[in-house]
Amino acid sequence: MDKITLQTMEFYGYHGLFPEEKKLGQRFLVDVDLHTSLKKAGETDQMEYSIDYGHAFQLVKNVVEGPSKNLIEAVAHQIAMELFQNFSLLTACRVKVIKPDPPIPGNYQSVAVEIYRERSNE
């Protein structure tokens, strides 16, 4: 399956369970794979047969920089739902939301959740 990938998009948001996360905020990194057939776009060189990754970036930004959520699982889910609502050619997506600086003790690079969703025909 063909895909368009947006990697390491960086935003500032207020998601988390702890009061200081909701008050002070923190950085979030997001990776997104947009699965769709790119054959017709490649053959015709017409944007109508692809997914506008600039628009996809803005949708992700609006979610991450939008209203606070307790869980990054909910952030990832909302990103996926926004992508499906806005791109009829999208057949599936992978969304990874990374907290590089969560307020937990220990040595680690980051914590993250990654989801994969396919378009439902319901």
| Residue 70: predicted pLDDT | 97
Q: Active-site residue among 23, 39, 61, 99?
A: 99
Integer Cα distance of 47 and 44 in angstroms: 9
Can you give the length of the chain in residues?
A: 122
Residue with tokens 């319901």: 122
**Tens digit of each residue's pLDDT (9 = 90 or more) over 79-121:** 999 999 999 999 999 999 999 988 888 888 899 999 999 998 6
| Residue 7: predicted pLDDT | 98
Integer Cα distance of 19 and 8 in angstroms: 26
Mean pLDDT of 8-18: 97
Q: Residue 39 sits in a domain of what CATH number?
A: 3.30.1130.10
**Tens digit of each residue's pLDDT (9 = 90 or more) over 21-42:** 999 999 999 999 999 999 999 9
Q: Say whether pLDDT at 122 is over 60.
A: no
**Tens digit of each residue's pLDDT (9 = 90 or more) over 43-64:** 999 999 999 999 999 999 999 9
Nearest to 115 by CA among 65, 81, 66: 81
Phi, psi of 57 (to 5 degrees): -55, -45
Domain that includes residue 80, residue range: 3-118
Number of domains in the chain: 1
Higher pLDDT, 103 or 6: 6
**pLDDT-based confidence at 11, cuts 50/70/90?**
very high
Question: Is 22 noted as a catalytic residue in this protein?
Answer: no
- Identify the DSSP state of 88: T
